[in-house]
Amino acid sequence: MTRLNPETTPRHELRAERARRNHEAALAAFVSRKVEIDEMLARLQALSDDHFNVGPDEVNWSHVGSLDHIAERLAKITAFAFGEDAPNE
């Protein structure tokens, strides 16, 4: 990457170059975070598909409480993602 010389390059070109680099960095960070979220969602889906590693004969109220906790947090995350009012607020 060629860097602009601040002594010979007009200010508007320097600002434009900084803005372009800033945008590229933001895009790379965004894509990286999206990949992390996609991986977490895939893990959660797999865990849900396996009934959260609990067999029907093992289910007790602590499992229900754990799912309530997960559901409450996911509801808040979902509301945030869609710009909705969070539940229970």
- Residue 26 has what pLDDT? 98
Rounded to whole angstroms, the Cα distance separating 69 from 51 reads: 15
- Residue 12 has what pLDDT? 81
CA proximity to 67, closest of 75, 23, 78, 9: 75
pTM, whole model, 2 decimals? Answer: 0.77
Domain co-membership, 42 together with 1: yes
- Residue 1 has what pLDDT? 60
Rounded to whole angstroms, the Cα distance separating 58 from 53 reads: 10
Domain co-membership, 1 together with 43: yes
Domain residue limits at 8: 1-49
Contact 86, 74 (CB under 8 A): no
Contact 4, 14 (CB under 8 A): yes
Consecutive 10-residue averages of pLDDT for the chain (89 residues): 71 86 97 98 98 97 98 96 84
- CB atoms closer than 10 angstroms to residue 50: 10
Domain co-membership, 30 together with 7: yes
Structural domain total, the chain: 2
Domain co-membership, 11 together with 34: yes
